[in-house]
Chain A
């Protein structure tokens, strides 16, 4: 029995503790991201934003969460019950499980798998299912139209995202996320791959269905899009999933292009435990910066028209990323810089 506990129990407890150590701060971050969004939008529009609940309105997310919890879960009569309930759960779960491979610091990662970036890509490409299932099972034309838009939009932008990732891989020679960060010690990939960085950032906006690509919700024509029939916790799960996905995509941008946990110019004044804190501080600071860009774009840009969205994805980003991929490969081979070569 003692043997059993040592072999099974202890690793399980450690794993659960690690998972909780990521998920609890993540959910807190999601809550305060909604608050930050309202504050940033308010600042951009010369308003004050939420400022009533608690000091500076800091308890507003808690009040919002409580309000959502107290509401009634309404399931429409014509809805396909099982799929209707499964859709928000799927969205929420997918936004959490991707965090298993994100490296917060050297060695600080739950699953340091060899194909980390493919795993992230796979998880992000699954995100479309939550939306399609929600749209179809709601048995409402607005929700269904929103879901169809989402499917076309997310599949389109995934293609150019894939090419961007491949061009990063070419420079690194590994699919492991920690190796990708380590490869950026000399220079962050955002500089040599600047066009790819921009394509990736805009694609993440489309992939997370954020403004200016939030046609999936399109409240001006589709009421609220795919989640129009959802209420209470089922709605809250979609909401949490969307914001957790935003943070995830920011973390992905940070790892791929902004040097992950590396401080700028290799600035490393601390060692030991304080060094870890220092690295993680930079990781979170970069994520926060990318998130601010998400909110900034939302405050600045009007929504795209649907045909323009598709044109941008297929006729601009796809050729551009394909060309840049070939150019990167050609450059690396010509100058013998390809990892593993020579």
Chain B
């Protein structure tokens, strides 16, 4: 993403937002999702600052919602 940290997207659900992001930046897909298309559990997702404990692709979004990804991973 060329170190771009914020993007504006029009979408009604989390899944639709991800699809748009992946269309713009195809390399994001394998980072965000596993082979089955689900969001990797390693990503902690926040909507307007509140953590979504079990994020689902059909999580609804409304105008001006802000979705954040916190990816805290480490080696062994």
Chain B associates with chain A: no
User: Which A residues lie at the B interface, using CB under 8 A?
Assistant: none
